[in-house]
Amino acid sequence: MKQLMTGNEAIARGVYEGGCHFASAYPGTPSTEILENLIKYKEVKSEWAPNEKVAMEAAIGASIAGGRAFAAMKHVGLNVGADPLFTYAYMGVNGGFVFVSADDPGMHSSQNEQDNRNYAPFAKIAMLEPSNSQECYEMSRDAFELSEKYNTTIMIRTTTRVNHSKSLVKYGERKEVKIKDYNREMGRSRFDAVPALSKKLRIDLEARLKLLAEYSEESPYNFIEWNDKNIGIITSGVSYNYAKEVFGNKASYFKLGFTYPLPLKKIAKFAQEVNTLYVIEELDPYLENQLKAAGISCIGKEKIPNINELTPNIIAEVLLGKKTEIIKVDSKNLIDRPPMLCAGCPHRGFFYELGKVKNIMIASDIGCYGLGGSEPLNAKDTCICMGGSAGTGHGAQTIFNKKEEGKRVVAVMGDSTFFATGLNGVENALYNGSNLITAVLDNRTTAMTGHQENPGTGYTAGGHTTTAIQIEDVVRALGCNNIRTFNPHNLKETKETIQWALNLNEASVIIARYPCALKKYSKEDIEIFGGLNKKYEVDEEICNGCRACTRTGCPAINFSMNNKKSYIDQAQCIGCSVCAQVCPVNAIHEKGE
C-alpha cells in the first residue's frame, strides 16, 4: 500500500507496525503530530504526558515491564527528558524502547536550534536519522527490533523539514509482538540504579557500543551511491536531499542513516576513493568532528554555515560559487505582519491591562501568550524556557527587593505550561517567601501546538473523560492563600485583579480563565462560559478616529485612511467585547443593537 504522508504521519505508522504497545509525548512543534496520529491506532496505548520527563519515564516504565515503548518530543523537550534517559541508557531494555527528538533548525517555532545529534554520543545510545517520509516509516518500524537485539535505547533524530514535508510511503501491516515477561529479580539485577549496579552496567554499556559500531558498518541505512569520484559527499537527514539537488550525478554520496555509532571504517574507504570530500550537515559539525578525529580529511564548516537551516542555494553558493538569482520585490510599501493573538483571544484583555502597569517586569513563557510582547500590547520582558517564568521571575523579584525599588515581577504562564513545569517555579516562590505574582492564563487547552488536552481539561489524548485537575486546588495545596480567578474579557475585573495582586506584599496567583477562541468548546465550556457567538460593529457617526480600539492589537479591527474611522471585520470578530470596553466614546456596540 502507498500513501502520501508527512514525516510525522510516517513515524506514527512505523511505530504502530513495529508492534509498539505504549506511547507517550508532550506536544511541541515539530513533533506534535506523531502522537496525534498514533492515537488513531487502538492497539497502541497513546497518552499526552504533563511534560517530556514524565513522557520519557512512562515509556521507560513500559519498556521495563516488557512492552515495546515509544516517546516523542521536540529538541528542547529532550533537555527535560534527559535525566531518566541517561540512566536508562546504562540499563539496556526489556521491551524495545525508541524515542524521537524533533530538532528545529532555523527556529521556526523554538527558542533555540540546539543540535540534538550530540545527545547520542553523550548518552551512549544508538541514533537513526531519516531524510524522507519513507525512511521515517521504515526506521520507526525497525527500531524496536534493533533496540531489543542490541539491548539499547534508540533515538530517532528528525528536523522540521523531515517532520512536515510529504512524500510517498509504501507501508504494510502491524506486527503483533508478545509482551515480554518481567520479574522482580530482573528489576533488581538490571533496573535499579544504585552505584554498585551502575558500575557494572557502565562496562556493559561500552561493550554494547562496540557491537553497535559493528552493526553500523553493515547497516542498510548507511549506503554509498557511486557517481563521479572527483567529489564525495558525506551527509545525513534532509541535507542529503539538498546535496543531491545541487550536485546530482556530479558527485558520489555516502548517505548516513544510522548516525551513532558511525561506520568509520566504511567512511575511510569511501574517502580514499574520492578526490575532494565534503561533509554537508545542518547546525553543528557532528559528522565532521568524528571524521576528523578518526584522521579522515574533509571539508565542512570551513565553508558550510553552522547557523540556521541549509538550502540548496546556500550549498551551491558556498561550495560551487553559484549564486542563485532571486526575484527582486519592491517591499517598501509592504507592511510587516508578525504573528499576533487571534481575534477574540482571551489573553488580549489581560495583556492590554498588564501592559499599562508601570514599574513591573513581565517574565513570560512558552505558548501563545508569548505574543503578548508584540506591538501594540508590549506586555513581555523575558522568555527562557517552558515553565521558566515563575523560576526566573522569583530570582528577579528577589534582586528587585534587595534594591528596594518597589518593582514587582509578574510571571505569566499558560494552563498546560503550569502543569508541565511551571508549578515547580510557583512552589519555589512560595517556599522561599517571594512576593512574586504568578498569572496563569487558562484557556482550557494546549493551544499553540494545536489544541491538545492537558491535565486540566478533563479529557485524555483519546478524548475520554478523566479527572480535571483544578489549578486553584493545586496552588492552594502548595500553601498559597492569595488566589483569584477572573474573566480576562472583562477589563474592569482584569484591572482590579492585577491591582489586587500588586497591593499584596506576598506571593499570589491570579488565574485568567476563558477558553481559546479557536477551540471547539466542550459541553462543560458551553455550560460555564456560554461561548462567543456575538458580533460587534463601529458606529461611524460616533467614532472620532482616536484609534483606542486598535491598541488592543485585535486583527479584526481595521482603520480606514479614507474616512479616518475604525471598522470591524465581521468575518473575524467573535464578540469578545474588549474593543467596546476600551472605546472612550462608546462607538462600538453589539451588532443589531
| Residues placed in the known binding site for [4Fe-4S] cluster | 543, 546, 549, 554, 573, 576, 579, 583
**Plot region of 465 (φ>0 → left; ψ -120 to 50 → alpha; else → beta):** beta
d(CA 282, CA 304): 8
Cα 538 to chain center, whole Å?
40
Cα(137)–Cα(15) distance, integer angstroms:
8
Question: DSSP letters of 541-557?
Answer: TT-----TGGGG--TTE
Question: Binding-site residues, please?
Answer: 543, 546, 549, 554, 573, 576, 579, 583
Please report the beta strands in 297-442, taking only residues with DSSP state E, as ranges in sequence order: 360-364, 382-383, 408-414, 437-442
Nearest CA-CA partner of 582 in 570, 561, 566: 566
Which residues are CB-contacts of 178 (< 8 A; sequence separation ≥ 6)? Answer: none
Q: Concatenated DSSP letters for 200-248?
A: HHHHHHHHHHHHHHHHHHH-TTSEEE-S-TTEEEEEETHHHHHHHHHHG
> Could you write out the three-class secondary structure of 402-436?
HHCCCCEEEEEEEHHHHHHHHHHHHHHHHHCCCCC
137-166 burial, b for 16+ CB within 10 Å, e for fewer?
bbbbbbbbbbbbebbbbbbbbbbbbbbbbe
Report yes or no: 355 and 349 within 8 Å, Cβ to Cβ. no
Alpha-helical (H) ranges within 75-128 are 75-91, 119-123
3-class DSSP state of 579: helix
Q: Quick one: which of 511, 551, 549, 554 has its CA closest to 532? A: 554
Q: Which three cell numbers stand for residue 1?
A: 500500500
Per residue, what are the HEC states of 47-75?
A: EECCCHHHHHHHHHHHHHCCCCEEEEEEH
Beta bridge mates, 263? none
180 CB contacts (<8 Å, ≥6 apart)? 66, 67, 94, 95
